[in-house]
Amino acid sequence: MVTLILSCIGFVSAITAEPDPIDYNSINNSNYDTARNITSPGMYYLTENISNTNGIIISSDNVTLDGQGYFLNITGDYGIFSDTHTNITVKNVKINSTLYSGIVFENINFTTVENNTINTSSLSSLWGSGYNFTVVNNSMSSGFGGNYGLEQLTTYKVVGNTINGKPIYFYKNEENIGEIPSDASQIIISNCTNGQIKNLTLDENAVVIYIGDSSEITVENCTIKPNIYHDWDIYLMNSENCNISGNTFSTSESTEFAVIISYYSNNITISKNTLNGMQKGFSLYGITNSRIFGNTFENVYSVAIGGYGISEVYVYTNNFINSTRMDVENITFNSPANVSYLYNGTTYSGIAGNYWNDYSEPEAIINNGIWSIPYAVTDLINDSYPLVKEKPEDGKIHLTQSDFDSETGYIINKSGTYVLDENITCAMGIGINANDVIINGWGHCLVRTGLEGSAGIYILDGTNENIDIKHILLKNWTVGLSAPYNFMEHPNSDISNMVVSDCKFECNNIGVVSIGSENTKIDSCEFINNTNEGPLPLGAGMLIQDSNANITNCTFEYNERGTFLEGIDVTIDSCNFINNTNGLIPAMLHNGTVTCCKFENNDYGITTSDFAIVKIDVQENTISQNNFIENDCGLYLGGINNRVYLNIFENNSQNINSISLFGNYFQSPEVTYEYEGETYKGRLGNYYGEELGTSNAGIFDKPYGIEGMLFRK
């Protein structure tokens, strides 16, 4: 019995010792040049480590390649490649590919890549596209990439894979996926909601973040610096309500692609990110209703923002530093509504553009931290509200509130150009104690907070030449501009060549005082509501006691006195005097000229006396080509040898009242003039709003009566 059993055992043993030979479809170094192109279905195996320039090509459906733990060392394009096939499996291969991806599958359906080790210096260790892709337990040195889309990715299974030991996290068809773990190497999100990628360092050789067909995904406070050359850092595809904020983008290798690419996404916020040292910033295509703000683009040397098909995208409060080239259409480079922005330590609110470090408009002024002249972003797009980041290094002395002493204000002791970068309130204003000084208010206000008797801008005693004051509002001062400062004592000052232009003097006792100056020019200024409510009884837009002064294109409105004018050789031209008590008072004026001005709705248009202090030393002045409209009295004239001609008087309660009837001339010197195509020579008077007899060569034959005396018109 025992012997039978042993005999049986021995018989069986003899049969199994000689099995039929098995065809492994083996791939080894000796047959590699032909065997590496797999053209038939079946099982294929590596039977040893292989080193070659060329990789394995799978040119058939229904193929399984099992590396059995052997190495495939490839120095050419790909480790393993297949295009447009079905049911491919690659497993247990250790791939080293020095030139391109380890495995590339294009349009491969029902694919499995499992338990492989893939090392490559390329963007992706595994690159694929197609449906029903299973990627399990692979160890890679770079990312998993492909032509992702919703229909494809939602058929994928991606689990247990790592890049350099750090997990790849893959999410599909999930709501409220929550916060991504901190050890992530690559994150792929498809058809999901409510995820947070926060406080991560993403520096693997990969497209480290892919967000497709998802909503409410946040990428926040991450350091993103993958070493990739042929792709982007972040894909954002066909998604909405996503936020990429507070991240730092940089590169360890120069890349020719943007750090963010987004297609067909809506309501996207990209804010407060830092980009430094890459070729491109953001590439946007078909993006709608989105905001890009608070980012810093530094040394982005090709295109900071590019794209097309964009609508309702606003770019504002960004810093563009050596990164000003754009390739965009239909982007608005300012905020859609008021936003807060910082300038020189002060927070402002308003429509804001962006900071451009190459902004260079020498005539631009600063208004609350915004340049007045737009920045040309492209040939067709402007930033209309370019920001001033800090006091410009432009050779000018930029003044802000912090530069003003609470008691003494600010004293100018050296030549130069001084500009106001913001509105200033102070007890004392700006004192000038130097020659060749320009003060440019850049449209800002200098407003008094207290200290009656103070002046907004004042010239100290001494010799001061070449003073230029422009673009400033002086308000609530005893004297808005005083030349010299202590004018009530008539100091021994010598002020020459002072120019005041495009300024506004409002609610002062006196807007401008200039006494004893030479060659003063006041042009295109406004004097509004300067009255005697204060320490000075005068109340006037201007008090001028100069020689060779020239006042042009100014407006005087709602003042106690528009201009109190004294001096020699003073010209006032093309000015408007409206709604003043007294418009112009040429008291103690010699050889002056008043031409082409409008006097409307004043108590007195021009009067040689303000009835508080009567001064009739008005000699050899010319009042010509002015309009006197709806004043109580158009012209109240004293003095001698003054000429009044070619003026228009209409609808005044009284056109002219002269207190010196025999000393003045209400007609021109003999002139040559044209009337109805004919040339005449004669003396011309004024027009008084009524017909005075018959016209003869443009002159009525009846005189116009002034206080019972007759003067021919």
Read off the pLDDT of residues 569-578 as tens digits, 9 standing for 90 and up. 999 999 999 9
Residue that wins the pLDDT comparison between 415 and 152? 415
Domains of the chain plus CATH, in order, are 104-383 (2.160.20), 407-711 (2.160.20)
Q: Using the predicted structure, report yes or no on whether residue 67 has a pLDDT greater than 50.
A: yes
Is the pLDDT at 14 greater than 70? The verdict is no
Which distant-in-sequence residues (6+ apart) come within 8 Å of 63 by Cβ?
Answer: 38, 41, 42, 44, 82, 85, 87, 88, 89
Instruction: Indicate the pLDDT class of residue 150, thresholds 50, 70 and 90.
Output: low
Percent of all residues in the chain with a pLDDT value above 90, rounded to a whole number: 63
**What pLDDT sits at residue 4?**
23
Over residues 504-521, the mean pLDDT reads: 93
pLDDT of residue 241: 98
Encode pLDDT of 165-219 as tens digits: 999 999 999 999 999 999 999 999 999 999 999 999 998 888 899 999 999 999 9
Q: What is the pLDDT of residues 433-463, one digit of tens each?
A: 999 999 999 888 999 987 677 899 999 866 7
Q: Per-residue pLDDT for 301 more than 90?
A: no
**22: pLDDT strictly greater than 90:** no
Region of poorest pLDDT, from 473-477, 487-491, 698-702: 487-491
Query: Is the pLDDT at 392 greater than 90, yes or no?
Result: no
Q: What mean pLDDT do residues 406-433 have?
A: 91
Q: What is the pLDDT of residues 421-434, one digit of tens each?
A: 888 999 889 999 99
44 vs 128 pLDDT, higher one = 44
pLDDT at 535 > cutoff 80: no
Calpha distance 621→569 (Å, rounded): 9
pLDDT at 253: 55
pLDDT band at 615 (very low <50, low <70, confident <90, very high): low
Residue 252 has a pLDDT of: 52
State the DSSP H helix or E strand holding residue 266, giving kind and residue range, or none if neither. none
Compute the half-sphere exposure of residue 526: CA atoms within 13 Å on the CB side of its CA: 13
Residue 630 has pLDDT above 90, yes or no: yes
Confidence (pLDDT) at 226: 80
**How far is residue 110's CA from residue 86's CA, in Å, rounded to a whole number?**
6
Q: Is the dihedral of CA 361, 365, 371, 376 positive or negative?
A: negative
Answer whether residue 17 shows pLDDT above 60.
no
| pLDDT score of 2 more than 80 | no
- Assign 152 to helix, strand or coil: helix
Q: What are the CB-based long-range contacts (under 8 Å, 24+) for 418-424?
A: 419/365, 419/366, 420/444, 420/446, 420/472, 421/343, 421/344, 421/366, 421/369, 421/388, 421/391, 422/343, 422/344, 422/346, 422/366, 422/368, 422/369, 423/368, 423/447, 424/399, 424/400
The pLDDT score that the predictor gives to residue 658 is 73
Those residues with Cβ within 8 angstroms of residue 295's Cβ, 6 or more apart along the chain or in another chain: 270, 271, 272, 273, 274, 275, 318, 319
Residue 508 has pLDDT above 80, yes or no: yes
E strands, 287-432, where?
288-293, 296-298, 303-308, 311-316, 319-321, 326-327, 331-332, 339-343, 346-350, 355-356, 366-367, 370-371, 375-376, 382-383, 397-399, 410-412, 416-420, 424-426, 430-432
Q: What is the pLDDT of residue 24?
A: 55
Mean pLDDT of the residues in the chain: 88
Instruction: Give me the mean pLDDT over the 299-309 stretch.
Output: 91
Mean pLDDT of 120-141: 91
